[in-house]
A and B are shown apart, each in its own frame.
Chain A
């Protein structure tokens, strides 16, 4: 297994398949939205899920073939950079 670092965004419509492929490597735990109010709005609609970090490259090669998946491999990019470049936002979380 070879790891690759990336930030990956998967549309809701593909998330079950992506999680099935990704297993514990690419788990897509982070809910995302295209709603700019998301960072302060816990009720924002979930449009995508994301993973960011280093994990299995072979599995990611399969995941990126799903429709609408965005993968950013630039080591200079943080997950914030990737979200900003693609109009995605985190959704506020409350205790």
Chain B
């Protein structure tokens, strides 16, 4: 099968490319890796590729079969901030290309990522939210972005029982927002959080379109040097009920071209077409 360049064929790609074919998405993956070329801090996680996923936090055995647990996901950025978990708290891998977080106790957590040199952050996540019953943390910088300066989170749902996504972020103060549209579970979505502390701007995009924005005062300062939590708040609460396909967190604003490419990269495993 001919593999089209995804950057050039974003609309046709889900129809014409076999997602299990070798090389699927390699062009976009390389393009997203290149976003870190100037030493940007952050992470790039790809649950689609089994070669990035280990069953143990010591990273000795790759996942091999549906139902294997993910003890470590490789950070594809140069920062090597792998996400880890252990025992019963490990999310479950599917060979369809995602990790499932069980809403009970599953999570992944990185070592501290030093964003103290920037007041801009971009977060792009491709998820499938499986329930709107309880608040679920998709990713959060620090143990609690509402309590810590220079932190952010992306969650879904943002309120128990509502079909929303949400975000919070800021410096000494923080802004928060709820998606204006509803995304009733089960819902597959590419979510983008654009945070700018000095510019007092917090933007949530969904599936390639701006959904919500906040101009609330975010105070001063840059983002902090904290662990990134995936699928839960500090491995202890707000456990996400859903799948994560890909996740990019980078400590800078992206150009429109870069952002579009990164959203398309994130979207590929879920077959979401980004306009």
Contact = CB atoms under 8 A, between A and B. Distances in A.
Contacts of B158: 95
A3 B246 CA distance: 27
B128 interface: no
B135 interface: yes
B165 to A, nearest CB: 13
Interface stretch (B13-21, B30-38, B41-49, B85-93): B85-93
Contacts of B160: 40, 92
A30 B105 contact: yes
Contacts of A23: 87
Interface residues of B, number: 23
Contact of B88 (A51, A90, A92, A93): A51
Contacts of B238: 93, 95
Interface string A76-95: 00010000000000101111
Given A26-B88, A29-B236, A54-B69, A95 B105 contact: no
Given A26-B88, A53-B90, A53-B105, A93 B134 contact: yes
Contact of A79 (B69, B104, B133): B104
Contact of B134 (A25, A52, A55, A92): A92
Nearest to A49: B105
A44 to B, nearest CB: 13
B88 A54 contact: yes
A93 B104 CA distance: 12
Interface of B: 69, 86-90, 92, 102, 104-106, 133-135, 146, 155, 158, 160, 235-239
Please give me the 5 A-B residue pairs with the lowest Cβ-Cβ distance, nearest first: A53-B88, A25-B87, A55-B87, A24-B86, A55-B88
